[in-house]
Chain A
């Protein structure tokens, strides 16, 4: 378990596979001014 992120931190570099095809590289490829990013249990 890594360090928790808090307000003011920069989101770490991760690449997520999208169901729509392709990937999204965060935080480089923010799709909009704000992003609600939810990691759910599955």
Chain B
């Protein structure tokens, strides 16, 4: 749950970079609302993910009898059109996509994008 709090803390900065946050799990609506409440989350939360959805994105599954099965963590940074810019799959508590890495990745991509646009403009202004 520390991961969810870390993203909440950086939500404003991510927003200025054009990045929104969405979290999802197999939790019921009631369970998800409890997570929102206890963690003080203000970003978008989805609930009721199915195994078919988990399979579609390649997550590992865990089982905690008698509670049942759940998704193991999987985290993605998506760009335009749903392009995967980064992915992280965990099989347990070790390994997460740190919010600082997301910020760094977006900053780097935006620098490259702006550099490309500037070069295009310069080439355009040189043409007769």
Binding site for B on A (CB under 8 A): 1-14, 16-20, 24, 26-28, 30-42
Contacting pair A1 B102 (CB below 8 A): no
- Dominant SS at the B interface? mixed
B56 at the interface (CB under 8 A from A): yes
The contact of B78 among A16, A35, A39, by CB within 8 Å, is A35
Complex Cα spacing A42 to B81, Å: 27
Please, how many residues of chain B have a CB less than 8 angstroms from a CB on the other chain? 59
Q: Which of B45-100 contact A (CB under 8 A)?
A: 45-49, 53-62, 70-87, 89, 97, 99
Contacting pair A38 B48 (CB below 8 A): no
- Cβ-closest chain B residue relative to A11: B82
